[in-house]
Chain A
Amino acid sequence: SQQGEEDPQALSIQEGENATMNCSYKTSINNLQWYRQNSGRGLVHLILIRSNEREKHSGRLRVTLDTSKKSSSLLITASRAADTASYFCVAGAGSYQLTFGKGTKLSVIP
């Protein structure tokens, strides 16, 4: 397993704006996942993108993957106060061990 590293550590935006979070990893991967954690709750899976995919959409979420740069980004469009949470990326490299980074803490101000 390997750890994804999220950037920035914290992000504060106004409701309605777009939020972009980035993730970097170090070695070859099979897939990359994004999770959300609301305060006091467990992590919730948002989206999985495989190494042979470049972009994936799910509702207001858009994820890109650039394997040449070993990076991924998560875009949340038209953010809402309910999107306030921590977001984690996890790089899957052929093991069932998924190691999480420290996450990006997103605050959406109404």
Chain B
Amino acid sequence: DAGVIQSPRHEVTEMGQEVTLRCKPISGHDYLFWYRQTMMRGLELLIYFNNNVPIDDSGMPEDRFSAKMPNASFSTLKIQPSEPRDSAVYFCASSQDRGATNEKLFFGSGTQLSVL
């Protein structure tokens, strides 16, 4: 398996523009997570899905952020409109439900977002 695939690897945009980050989880994984990493705040969990259904989005910072998972092999994280403080590395991760909680996460390589 190719692992969790994220695109783009780098995104530079101007304030006010819409940004869409994409993620393809590992085939067969039931859970998908979106994290954001900054120097100041570390890794923050934004939202996670189980079987394509959003379970907890309490980490989504504002209404400007939205996430979807239309099928088991694709998810998007959208920021509209983007602001400079959204600059961060955004990671997608997936895991497999084996009947136990807290199974290990497999991370993508991340998207480095810079909002000018």
Q: Taking beta carbons and an 8 Å cutoff, which residues of A are in contact with B? A: 1, 30-31, 33, 35, 40-45, 48, 88, 90, 92-103
Q: Which of these, B43, B55, B104, contacts A88 with CB under 8 Å?
A: B43
Given known contacts A33-B104, A45-B105, A48-B104, A101 and B42 CB-to-CB distance under 8 angstroms: yes
Q: Report, nearest first, the 10 A-B pairs whose CB atoms are least far apart.
A: A92-B102, A42-B107, A100-B43, A45-B104, A102-B42, A43-B107, A42-B109, A94-B101, A42-B110, A42-B108
> Which residues of B approach A to under 8 Å, CB–CB?
4, 31, 33, 35, 42-43, 45, 48, 50, 55-56, 91, 93, 95, 100-102, 104-110
State the majority secondary structure of interface residues on A. loop
CA distance A95 to B59 in the complex (A): 15
Chain A's closest residue to B3 (CB) is: A42
The residue from A33, A43, A88 contacting B91, defined by CB atoms under 8 A apart: A43
Listed by A's residue number, 5 A-B pairs whose Cβ atoms lie within 8 Å are A41-B109, A48-B104, A94-B101, A94-B102, A102-B42
- For B56, the chain A residues whose CB sits under 8 A away are 97
Q: Shortest beta-carbon distance, A50 to chain B, in Å? A: 9
**CB nearest to A43 among chain B residues:** B107
Residue contact A96 to B42, C-beta cutoff 8 Å: no
Is the CB–CB distance between B101 and A99 below 8 Å? no
Contact of A98 among B55, B105, B106 (CB under 8 A): B105
Known: A42-B109, A98-B33, A100-B42. 12 other contacts (CB 8 A): A1-B45, A33-B102, A44-B107, A45-B104, A48-B104, A92-B101, A94-B102, A97-B48, A98-B105, A100-B35, A101-B42, A103-B42
